[in-house]
Amino acid sequence: MTSSTAASPVFALSSFQLKPVSNTKNYLPSSFSIPTTFFPLSPLISRKSSFRAMATVVKENEEKVVVEESFPPKASPAQDGEGGNNQGPQSSSSTHGFDNWIITFEQSINVFLTDSVIRILDAFYHDRYYARFFVLETIARVPYFAFLSVLHLYESFGWWRRADYLKVHFAESWNEMHHLLIMEELGGNDWWFDRFLAQHIAVAYYFMTVFMYMISPRMAYHLSECVESHAFSTYDKFLKAQGDELKKLPAPEVAVKYYTEGDLYLFDEFQTSRPPKSRRPKIESLYDVFVNIRDDEGEHCKTMKACQSHGNLRSPHSYSDRFREDNESLCDPNEVDCEGIVDSMKKSVTSSPSITQNL
């Protein structure tokens, strides 16, 4: 896993260094600058019939970019009204209202945190877009490390044995790592300050996400959705403003290798809303690279949204073996499941210590 050189090895996020190309300016469009304000997010009711590459909470007056839909999720927390507990209309109105309040409260905190990071990026990177993308990609991959850490901890305690979550989250981190490698090759990590800021924010973000995921996975997934939504919007605006010049520039070698060569199993794995092998990018210019990075962020948004509905995540490679009909449950009811540390502790006391892992 590759990252830039840091001031201290404590904050190094990978094991070896990739040097950016010597002539970084070849990748730099001449006239583009990132706007100083980056579309903060506020409430919007999500709908099952349409996957949007926006966080569950967005501004009403914000331009919405609709992403092509493949497999729709079973439900979202807002639809269930139970934060993904799938209790449906049998729940009392008071419980329904309380759960909706909790979801709204969690999302409000996430929007505040996301907006705070966006303001930092706006302050330092309003006209340095590759450096901004480097910082954004360094931050965006951190939640998947945190999810995996907590899931492995739960496995050690016998609280959680669900292989698909581990597979998908690792594939997501692998995809984000290659986004980071691309930004490094474009020269986004040339300045020491950019590396210092990105890595220190990432360390703080990691521990915050671990704590949040242990308390409320739904909240942690929504925060990651907010971050991925901002990334999608950033790349989409960049492409619309600078597309013509990007088409004249060469694609970085690391992008060509990742998107078009070798085993693409992990590339398919993180795209949980579409069948494997249904997306095979073409990379002919730098424009194609950013189109696919943008589309990757849209797929991350879909996956994070699906995760907010309790037990809704399934590896796309599992569909061919286990998915029979649209209305069939994608989850084995006998699998040990857990919504957070409180639920885990309760299950550890009330359930049998013998756990069968469903791979």
Domain CATH for 177: 1.20.1260.140
Amino acid at 249: L
Residue 303 lies in a domain: yes
Residue 227 lies in a domain: yes
User: Residue 139 sits in which domain range?
Assistant: 126-320+337-350
Residue 260 lies in a domain: yes
**pTM of whole model > 0.75?**
no
Give the model's pLDDT for residue 330.
Answer: 38
**In whole numbers, what is the pLDDT of the chain averaged over residues?**
74
* Alpha-carbon torsion (336, 342, 348, 351), positive or negative: negative
Least-confidence region, from 71-85, 181-195, 328-342: 71-85
- Rounded to 5°, the CA angle 95-143-108 comes to 40
b/e code 46-66 from CB counts within 10 Å (16+ = b): beeeebbbbbbbbeeeeeeee
pLDDT(143) > 90:
yes
Residue 103 lies in a domain: no
* Alpha-carbon torsion (56, 112, 220, 259), positive or negative: positive
Tokens encoding 138: 């360094």
* Alpha-carbon torsion (260, 263, 267, 271), positive or negative: positive
Band (pLDDT 50/70/90 cuts) for residue 180 is very high
Residue 111 lies in a domain: no
Decide: residue 100, CB within 10 A, 0-12 exposed, 13-18 middle, 19+ buried. Answer: middle
- What's the mean pLDDT in 275-296? 94
Tokens encoding 40: 């903060």
Residue 266 lies in a domain: yes
Band (pLDDT 50/70/90 cuts) for residue 26 is low
Give the model's pLDDT for residue 314.
Answer: 83
Residue 67 lies in a domain: no
Give the closest residue to 301 by CA, choosing from 134, 149, 114.
114
Residue 213 lies in a domain: yes
Residue 356 or residue 161, greater confidence: 161
Tell me the backbone φ, ψ of residue 160, rounded to 5 degrees.
-145, 125
Report pLDDT digits (tens) over 45-59. Answer: 333 333 333 443 333
User: What is the greatest pairwise CA distance in the chain?
Assistant: 64
Tokens encoding 297: 């962020």
Amino acid at 348: S
- Rounded to 5°, the CA angle 100-69-162 comes to 65
**How far, in Å, are 134, 186, 197, 243, 344 from residue 25 at the CA level?**
16, 8, 23, 17, 52
Give the model's pLDDT for residue 95.
Answer: 64
Give the model's pLDDT for residue 264.
Answer: 93
Q: How many domains does the chain have?
A: 1
d(CA 154, CA 72): 28
Between the CA atoms of 24, 27, 33 and 34, what dihedral angle is there, to the nearest 10 degrees? -100
pLDDT(112) > 50:
yes
